[in-house]
Amino acid sequence: MEPLVLNSISKAYHGFRGPWSRMLCAMSFGYLGVNLRKEALSNISFSANHGEAIGIIGENGAGKSTLLKLIAGVLVPDKGELKIKGNVRALLDLGLGFNPELTAKQNTNYNGMIWGYSKSELESMLPDIFSFSELEGLENTPLKEFSSGMVMRLGFSLAVAQRPDILIVDEALVVGDARFQQKCLSRVSSFLNEGTVLLFVSHDLNLLSHFCKRSILIHKGKILLDSNTRNAIEQYMQVIAGSHENAVQKFKELNEFQISFSKNGLPRGTILRSNEDIELLVQFSPASDWKDLTVGFHIDDARGIRVFGTNTLLLGLEMGTVLQGQKRSLQFRFPLHIGPGKYSIGVAFHKGRAHTEGNYFWGESLFSFEIDSGGKPDSIGLLSIPVEARILD
């Protein structure tokens, strides 16, 4: 049996316009008096297998937190069936439930019992909890003397002291400094290898792409897309740009549109070399007047991780207004300091600094290309940085 199955789950929140409505609702056992109703989730269905990491993405208010609270058991669905096999651990607010007047050890014991640990389990886990959080010797120190980062480290260490069958993370995976963050990521990765289901909500799309091959995009309480993470992120970017129609509908904003690579003015194909200078040519003609236009492009790798992005405003180039039907050409010139692999280019036309301020057109994965090392690779990773090495003595 799959450890997590949701079948047609729905959840709504109810409200009242005044105290009399609330009183009427109480007296009628909920049948009367409810004036306001907000559908948070509608007909949500998906399942997860052992060792699967699933990203949950969507705009603020889309229903992500409600979904996690249902799975964590904090809320009960109004409709549908929720099947869970095993224990669930939720990292929602790492400092929630801690009492600043109690010591770190007392807080760990009390919160651990609330999370379902037995007293004997907590006694055996305490050394590892304080060792992982790097708070050894501070067990009997009142929590009010801890910094916020120390409290979060203690909360994270308590939450991951034992491997759960289902781990829910809501923007709480990266804790502390860079070194401690790596410890957190390594601990979660080890859980995945041992069969834990990870449900991960984050606005850090690069981190989400790192962990999750599959992602679910929620929009206005419904599943808009359940696909590989790259497709889900591309659709999510369309949503926050104000449009999630299909590609044919999107291109109605343009009379003409073309992007291509060239070098020294001569056309290039889709196989390029690391570190060579290249020109990206963007040719377009809008279907309406585009005022205060900014044109940008971004490069994503095969997993959908953003490698690089910029636009004319950031580069100090003013485009002004482009009139309906006017043909314009724009050239970006840059060295391809990118490691070998497959990549894609997206293009955006908008007002201001970012496409969320006033989007005219947003296109993901409009042009695909591959970077070839041109011989034996001299580095690893996304970037290809020219490096010289010499022996000094």
What distance in Å separates the CA atoms of residue 47 and residue 197, rounded to the nearest whole number?
A: 10
Does 236 fall in a domain? no
Q: Which two tokens stand for residue 327?
A: 């043909």
Please check the confidence at residue 285 and state whether its pLDDT lies above 90: yes
Q: Are residues 88 and 166 in the same domain?
A: yes
CA 285 vs CA 2, 32, 329, 348, 359: distances in Å: 51, 57, 9, 13, 16
- From 213, 226, 170, select the one nearest 43 (Cα to Cα): 226
Q: Are residues 143 and 204 in the same domain?
A: yes
Please check the confidence at residue 17 and state whether its pLDDT lies above 80: no
Please check the confidence at residue 2 and state whether its pLDDT lies above 90: no
Contacts of 355 (CB under 8 A, 6+ apart): 241, 296, 348, 362
Last residue of a domain, one of 207, 229, 251: 229
pTM comes to 0.73
Please check the confidence at residue 251 and state whether its pLDDT lies above 60: no
Structural domains in the chain (count): 2
Contacts of 235 (CB under 8 A, 6+ apart): 217, 224, 225, 227, 244
Q: Are residues 121 and 216 in the same domain?
A: yes
Q: Which two tokens stand for residue 348?
A: 């955006």
Q: Are residues 166 and 252 in the same domain?
A: no
Q: Are residues 97 and 163 in the same domain?
A: yes
146-184 tens-digit pLDDT: 888 888 888 888 888 889 899 998 876 667 677 787 888
CATH of residue 160 = 3.40.50.300
325-364 tens-digit pLDDT: 999 999 999 998 988 888 989 898 998 777 666 788 888 8
What distance in Å separates the CA atoms of residue 216 and residue 188, rounded to the nearest whole number?
A: 20
Phi-psi region of 105 (alpha: psi -120 to 50; beta: other; left: phi over 0): alpha
Q: Give the per-residue pLDDT at 173.
A: 67
Does 386 fall in a domain? no
Q: Are residues 214 and 277 in the same domain?
A: no
Q: Give the per-residue pLDDT at 95.
A: 65
Q: Are residues 169 and 23 in the same domain?
A: yes
Last residue of a domain, one of 179, 204, 229: 229
Does 381 fall in a domain? no
- From 334, 366, 360, select the one nearest 347 (Cα to Cα): 366
Confidence of residue 248 (pLDDT cuts 50, 70, 90): very low
Q: Are residues 162 and 302 in the same domain?
A: no
Which residues span the domain enclosing 356? 241-372
Q: Are residues 8 and 155 in the same domain?
A: yes
Please check the confidence at residue 266 and state whether its pLDDT lies above 90: no
Tokens 């095969």 belong to residue: 302
Does 353 fall in a domain? yes
Q: Give the per-residue pLDDT at 290.
A: 92
